[in-house]
Amino acid sequence: MGNRRRGHTHAPKTPPLSLDTHSSDHEQDVKHRICMVSDFFYPNMGGVESHIYQLSQCLIEKGHKVVIATHAYGDRRGIRYLTNGLKVYYLPLQVMYNQSTATTCFHSLPLLRCVFVRERITIVHAHSSFSAMAHDALFHAKTMGLNTVFTDHSLFGFADLSSVLTNKLLTVSLCDTNHIVCVSYTSKENTVLRATLDPEIVSVIPNAVDPTDFTPDPSRRDNSKITIVVISRLVYRKGIDLLSGIIPELCGKHPDLCFLIGGEGPKRIVLEEVREKYQLHDRVRLLGALDHKDVRDVLVQGHVFLNTSLTEAFCMAIVEGASCGLHVVSTRVGGIPEVLPDELVTLCEPSVQSLCDGLETVIARIRTGNVASPATIHRKVRTLYTWRNVAERTEKVYNRVCREPVLPLSDRLHRLRSHCGAVAGSIFSFVAVITFLFLLFLQWLRPDHLIDVAVDSSGPHSRLGQHVSKKTSKTPNPAVS
């Protein structure tokens, strides 16, 4: 509560620990050993999954050691290696709901401790507030005295009971996390309010898109008609109901318009009904679930990319669409207005009428030929969001975090109680004490020095692939030679 009010009157000031002012030469040499933790990782596909993968790859390229911990997906359990020696631990934890594990605050400690000790982790980086494993990892990392970073990928409301409860849990979970990363300014405001945080410890680092994966190819377009592409999961939050109103409205007015819809979900039936009722089988194609590698092939067939989301923290889809040279029409919700400059996107209110108006202006512009070519659009988008830039900015967060002290148990308990309210604070202080005792027990049962240190497959002491280590040994100190 106190923080909410403080947020209002916050005057701009230079933070004492700004992310850039302290960076010195010697600090750029510091190599971290990072453990990314999230329930969501390959073989699951989505925004969080690709974010973790791409960020890890770029951090490895910069010479850091990165391992990923996630839960087992079916047969995929144990340790796997991905490109460039990215080591993934698929831990045998029980999945509860929507690929998220159950949280008891205790049962994952032995396994996660084992990973952290084996890999001599210095920073734990958890992803996604929907992932119970991420919250567990933040809690255990603090118990073990490690520094933590958390990346929030989604927006949450405040109005209903379920969000009140999840927000309380987030408050507890983030109360002693060193630094939080959000993907847009709107997402930062949201997270600061939800977890009553000091906005100084929240950084905004947007997502990125690999521009080489999303290149335009105008020859694949059928220029005798105008194609509108929609690629999203077909669920309520993505505004599929709005789409079901737009399709008949526009198809009636423009006989040369067709829709190409990629994605799967419970709202597919609504689109099928609309297609049935208005007899649009030749003009509305439902492609079903798409593999990530096929997305580009679908995108390049279109002239306009339409996004009807009702809430979105960043929206990678519109960047992918624009990167393929499409004109983007999107709803003005969440962080979307921050993502693309006005000349690349047409923003509309989340209503059928407004979206139809926006689409019609774009269609009229395409008919008159008064539009930028796909190559021009691609060139503008290409440099906006790159994973290297994300990794550089994340590295600064790590550099800042690793200088911070880790609170001893007594301070941590005090902080929990003063920050999270009397009831929740006391409950979680109790849990923190129990976890601490559990950790002592584990340390007695199997002392840290008896746990084997794993062979590094990435980072400065990597034993894998000569070319990787060559590259990493070159980049940090070019000034010396």
Which is nearer to another protein, 264 or 392 (by Cβ)? 392
Looking at the Cβ atoms of 7 and 46, the one nearer to another protein is 7
Distance from C-alpha of 356 to C-alpha of 244, rounded to nearest angstrom:
12
As measured in angstroms, the least distance from the Cβ of 13 to another protein is 8
Cβ atoms 67, 396 nearer than 8 A: no
Q: Which is nearer to another protein, 172 or 313 (CB)?
A: 313
- In 3-state terms the chain splits into helix, strand, coil percentages (rounded to 5) of 45, 15, 40
Q: Is residue 317 within 8 Å of residue 231, measured between CB atoms?
A: yes
Q: Whole-number minimum distance, CB 468 to another protein, in Å?
A: 24
For another protein, the closer of residues 86 and 344 by Cβ is 344
CA angle 347, 363, 350 (to 5 degrees): 30
Other CB atoms within 10 Å distance of the CB of residue 77: 14
Least distance (Å) from another protein to the CB of residue 349? 8
Closest distance between another protein and the C-beta of residue 448, in Å?
A: 33
Say which residues have a Cβ less than 8 Å from residue 116's Cβ, sequence separation at least 6. Answer: 35, 124, 140, 141, 144, 146
Which one, 179 or 303, has the nearer CB to another protein? 179
Contacts of 269 (CB under 8 A, 6+ apart): none
Smallest distance, another protein to C-beta of residue 426, A: 23
Measured from the CB of residue 80, what is the shortest distance to another protein in angstroms? 32
Q: Considering the complex, what minimum distance in angstroms separates the CB of residue 163 from another protein? A: 10
State how far the Cα of 106 lies from the Cα of 12, in Å rounded to an integer. 41
| Distance from the first to the final alpha carbon of the chain | 54
Our separate counts of H helices and E strands in the chain read 18, 16
Measured from the CB atom, is 226 or 333 closer to another protein? 333
- Residue 282's contacts (CB-CB under 8 Å, 6 or more residues apart) are 258
- Identity of the residue numbered 451: I
**Structure tokens belonging to residue 66:** 């990165």
**Least CB distance to another protein at residue 333 (A):** 5
Nearer to another protein, 349 or 448 (CB): 349
Q: DSSP letters along 370-418, please?
A: -S--HHHHHHHHHTTS-HHHHHHHHHHHHHHHTTSPPPPHHHHHHHHHH
Nearest residue (CB) to another protein, 248 versus 460: 248
Shortest spacing between CB 433 and another protein, in angstroms? 32
- Report the residue number, 42 or 150, with the smaller CB distance to another protein: 150
What would the two tokens of residue 151 be?
């990346």
